[in-house]
Amino acid sequence: MAQTPNSAAEVSEERAASKRVGVLQALLPYFAPYKIWVVLALAALTITASVSLILPVAARRVIDGFSVGDVSLLNQYFMGAIAVAAIFALGTGLRYYVVTRLGERVVADLRKAIFDRMIGMSPAYFEKLMTGEVLSRITTDTTLILSVIGSSASWMLRNMLMMSGGLIMMLWTSPKLTGLVLLIVPLILGPILALGRKLRGLSRQNQDWIAASSGKASESLLSAQTVQAFTHEARSSTEFSNVTEKAYDSARARIKTRALITMIIIFVAFSGVMGVLWIGAIDVRSGATTAGQLVQFVIYAAIVASSTAALSELWSELQRAAGATERLVELLEAEDSIADPQEPIPAKPGALVFEDVKFAFPSRPDQPALNGVNFTINPGETVALVGPSGAGKSTIIQLVQRFFDPQAGHITFGGVALPQMRRSDFRQFMALVPQDPVVFASSAYDNILFGRPSASRDEVIAAAKAAAADDFIRALPDGYDSYVGERGVMLSGGQKQRIAIARAILRDAPVLLLDEATSALDGESEALVQKAFEALSKHRTTLVVAHRLATVKNADRILVMDQGQIIAQGTHASLVAEGGLYARLAKLQFSQTDGA
Ligand SMILES: Nc1ncnc2c1ncn2[C@@H]1O[C@H](COP(=O)(O)OP(=O)(O)OP(=O)(O)O)[C@@H](O)[C@H]1O
């Protein structure tokens, strides 16, 4: 089932070793449909950056204009400045709107794409990853990307424009001083590049621990009642606290590196610029340059220095987002061990055949769950699977629906091997009542309707009646429209099971898969449901797993399983007469029933 949080670090290492995803390249396809927005955003950014770059020129003109005392020129400059302010405001507003909206759009698409990928993944995938972790990625990691697209990326572009534009203007103002400034650049780029990679690894580790912490929280909260019943609240809290502290520790390491990068860069950038200005001030004194020129140069130098400092911070942010992107791309590109064929053969109902099927679950490759299973269920036949716990009965039900592929042997349905058909094609011919009935957080009605969403209200009610569920549903506060709680917590085990049965009945599929379908029902309900099943099974292929032999006595054939093999088969009477495992189980159960 779920991995322990401790293994999150191992998983993280495993991931780090796997292929490195190009920083934000993986996100590019998500921007493709919104090219026009990207162009608009770039235009808005260019406008605001250009305006900021014009201001120092204006400052020089004003200062030098003052010195020649030309007031009319001054008036013109200030009127121009007001017009520029309007353009600046417009550009800034447009940038915010376009960029933020683009970010939200892309992240919404990304979330949907991940969900679409995840909902179709076969169960083996979720054995390694806790669902809470997947949720954390869909929420926290995408939020991080949103902040990068929505603000950091545009700030980054703006600062890049300001930095390069500022440099050009500096060069124009004073090539000598600019040359000196450029000597500082390698000192700034060095630490950015050296520490940036480290930061990305640390960010990724941090996100992994956050996900592990979400995974732990969702697992414990979902089973809060069991935790309380065993008085393990403190233990659960400690476990959660440990993972959360790990997340904090990794965040601390990330923050430390980021603070270091920022500190180095700001110091180098500002002290370097100050040094250059020092020289400039000497030039003004000697008359080699005007005061206005130096002021213009100072402002450009300040723009370049502050945009460089901002870029270093944003670079760190981008590294963080790159870590998050890696984690999301892993979900988007997750390989499913089960895949649909390129050219599927259309599915049609027919016999269900297992031919020498050998299977071990991926998580336990050395422990075969099925060890050479052969059987055929002809259309319309009812076959029961019985045997001790862990014999492999539910495994057969899972393989019939191709949630896993066997390592050896073949499973065919209607004469075609399962991997040659699209999974949704043959699954639509199957109705399942699983061992643990799943009830969704919605109404009783919607839960039954899930079996066949096109069904009418009358059909839903008829299915509920057949599943002996109508009476209890009507007694709920809002009848069929009553909310049944998350995972059906407002229902009893037997009620949940009857909802699951009604859902399967409504599905009206040619193959009925019943895995301990009536195990939670009282004798009376079970007898009623049993009758419904018998009526339903008449024209259907039915595979039924049951511990209570009374429920399978009338099956056309009973397959007795033990340790992944079918050790006997026949009718109830013939198996009892044979005197094997089945006869022993029957004796035990029927004598208990007699005694009761
Ligand atoms: N997802 C899984 N990963 C690894 N092993 C599994 C998994 N599911 C089941 N198994 C193992 O496979 C074997 C067969 O399990 P299966 O659920 O088919 O038994 P069963 O006959 O249905 O038992 P029960 O009557 O208790 O439901 C068991 O040893 C079980 O531990």
Sequential DSSP letters for 404-473:
S--SEEEEEETTEEGGGS-HHHHHTTEEEE-SS----SSBHHHHHHTT-TT--HHHHHHHHHHTT-HHHH
User: Whose alpha carbon is nearest atom 31 of ligand 1?
Assistant: 390
Residue 346: the pLDDT is 93
* Pairing, β 557-562 against β 541-545: unpaired
Burial class of residue 454, CB neighbours in 10 A (0-12, 13-18, 19+): exposed
Q: Which residues in the chain land under pLDDT 50?
A: 1-21, 23, 594-596
Beta carbon of 392 within 6 Å of any ligand 1 atom: yes
Shortest-distance atom of ligand 1 to CA 547: 25
- What the block records as the tokens of 192 is 């950015």
Residue 564 Cα: closest atom of ligand 1: 14
Q: Kindly give the number of the ligand 1 atom that is closest to the alpha carbon of 392.
A: 18
Residue nearest to atom 3 of ligand 1 (CA): 361
Is the beta carbon of 1 within 6 A of some atom in ligand 1? no
Query: Is the Cβ–Cβ distance between 289 and 212 less than 8 Å?
Result: no
Residue 78 CA to residue 251 CA, distance in Å, equals: 48
Measured in Å, residue 361 CA sits from the centre of ligand 1 at 9
Task: Decide: 407 and 371 in contact? Cβ < 8 Å.
Answer: no
Residue 361 CB less than 6 A away from ligand 1: yes
Q: Return the structure tokens found at 313.
A: 């911070």
Six token digits for residue 246: 């790990």
What residue's CA is closest to ligand 1, atom 26?
A: 389
- 44: closest CA among 99, 106, 94, 118? 94
Q: What is the pLDDT of residue 416?
A: 94
Contact 587, 578 (CB under 8 A): no
Buried b (16+ CB within 10 A) or exposed e, 466-487: bbbbbebbeebeeebebebeee
Three-class SS state of 125: helix
User: What pLDDT does 71 receive?
Assistant: 67
**Model pLDDT for residues 44-102, shown as the tens digit of each residue:** 888 888 887 777 777 777 666 665 556 676 677 777 778 878 888 888 888 888 888 88
- Ligand 1 atom 29 nearest Cα: 390
- Smallest CA-to-CA distance from 353 within 325, 383, 333, 330 is with 383
3-state SS, residue 379: coil
| Ligand 1 atom 6 nearest Cα | 361
Domains in the chain and their CATH numbers?
7-332 (1.20.1560.10), 352-595 (3.40.50.300)
Cα-to-centroid distance, 328 and ligand 1 (Å): 31
The verdict on the CB of residue 289 being under 6 Å from ligand 1 is: no
Nearest C-alpha to atom 2 of ligand 1 is from which residue?
361
Which stretches of 174-230 are DSSP H helices? 175-182, 185-222, 224-229
Secondary structure element (H or E) that encloses residue 381, with its range: none
The ipTM value here is 0.93
Q: CA 247 to CA 87: how far, in whole Å?
A: 45
Pairing of strands 557-562, 565-570: antiparallel
Give the closest residue (by CA) to ligand 1 atom 5. 361
Mutating to test ligand 1, I would choose from 126, 338, 367, 395 the residue with most ligand atoms within 8 A of its C-beta, which is 395
Best mutation site among 357, 358, 364 for ligand 1 pocket (most ligand atoms within 8 Å of CB): 364
Distance separating alpha carbons of residues 502 and 433, to the nearest angstrom: 9
Q: How many CB atoms lie within 10 A of CB 289?
A: 19
Distance, in Å, from the CA atom of 309 to the CA atom of 261, rounded to the nearest integer, reads 10
| pLDDT for residue 396 | 95
Phi, psi of 544 (to 5 degrees): -125, 130
Query: Parallel, antiparallel, or unpaired for β 541-545 and 511-515?
Result: parallel
CA 278, CA 283: separation in Å to the nearest integer?
A: 9
Residue 512 — φ and ψ, nearest 5°?
A: -115, 125
Instruction: Output the CA–CA distances (angstroms, integers) from residue 227 to 235, 431, 441, 492, in the order listed.
Output: 9, 34, 22, 19
Q: How far away, in angstroms, is 390 Cα from ligand 1 center?
A: 5
Q: How far is CA 117 from the centre of its chain?
A: 9
